[in-house]
Amino acid sequence: MTRNALKEMSRTREVKLGHFIVEFATPGIGHILKAAGCDFAFFDLEHSGFGFETAKSALRYFEAAGVPALVRVPANDRHFIARACDIGAEGIMVPMVGTAAEAEAIVRAMKYFPRGDRGVALGIAHDNFAVQPAEQAMAEGNARTTLFCLIETAEGIDNVDEIAAVDGVDCLWIGHFDLSQSLGIPGQFDHPDFLAAVDKVVAAGKRHDKALGRLVPRVDEGIRLFGQGFDFCCYSGDAWLLRDALSSAIKSLREGCKS
């Protein structure tokens, strides 16, 4: 496993299967995902309540297990983006990307000279505290950082082709609930407006040869979406998976133990 695994994954259209971490940042979490066969981890800072110190530790857990991780930052803010890169995130996911100009600004925040103007701090977590020439370290950092743009607003749909065209955008990821809300049809994933928006994202990804990603709650939906072109498939989340599995077992036990 190289430290550029997510970048390499984003360049193929083979299926990549992962899991969403929103609750359990325990030392074993990386190895649990690895043992389950996950190709990547999606670590959330937007809705989880995790802070950057927790994320920094979790990234080491994933790295130790050989599971590349993308980090969703709390907001489209230069400080959050650059800090996530500095603590060692290979992949950065940014919420509610609405325009090509926003996407370009995100790329600049993630990349060192000559592609961007990310603040330079070398010999820290993102380059494994190594001593190496600055030019080499910065080039390696630029090659490693992988951008997942969350398309989850009506504005993002309107501009998705221009966003996909930005050099440095590696994946278009649909935030389905927020997108449905922005379209005025919350949770109506079969609505013609939602389906048309999804089709527009898929078309932009294929036109510009960018990866496509989704969070999926069910196996059958993940298979269907892969057939549509979504090659990054993130299956469920830690809290929901535990809740549902435990609920099913407890229900079965309770029924079986009735006298």
pLDDT at 23: 98
Confidence label for 1 from pLDDT (cuts 50, 70 and 90): very low
Is 79 a known active-site residue? no
5-256 CATH: 3.20.20.60
Tell me the average pLDDT across 192-207.
Answer: 98
Percentage of residues of the chain with pLDDT beyond 70: 99
pLDDT in tens, 28-47: 999 999 999 999 999 999 99
**Active site residue: 19, 47, 126, 176, which one?**
47
Amino acid 259: pLDDT = 64
Which amino acid does the sequence have at 80? F
pLDDT of residue 4: 87
pTM: 0.94
Task: Report d(CA 213, CA 19) in Å as an integer.
Answer: 12
Six token digits for residue 142:
């630029």
State how far the Cα of 247 lies from the Cα of 253, in Å rounded to an integer.
10
CA 58 to chain centre: 15
Name the β-bridge partners of 212.
172
With a cut of 80, say whether residue 116 has pLDDT above it: yes
- Are 72 and 46 a contacting pair, CB within 8 Å? yes
CA distance linking residue 174 with residue 204, whole number of Å: 12
Rounded average pLDDT over 115-126: 94
Residue 136: how many CB atoms within 10 A of its CB? 12
Distance separating alpha carbons of residues 213 and 182, to the nearest angstrom: 19
* CA within 13 Å, CB half, 103: 26
Helices (H), 21-99: 29-36, 52-65, 78-86
pLDDT tens-digit map of 10-24? 999 999 999 999 999
**Where in the chain are the domains?**
5-256
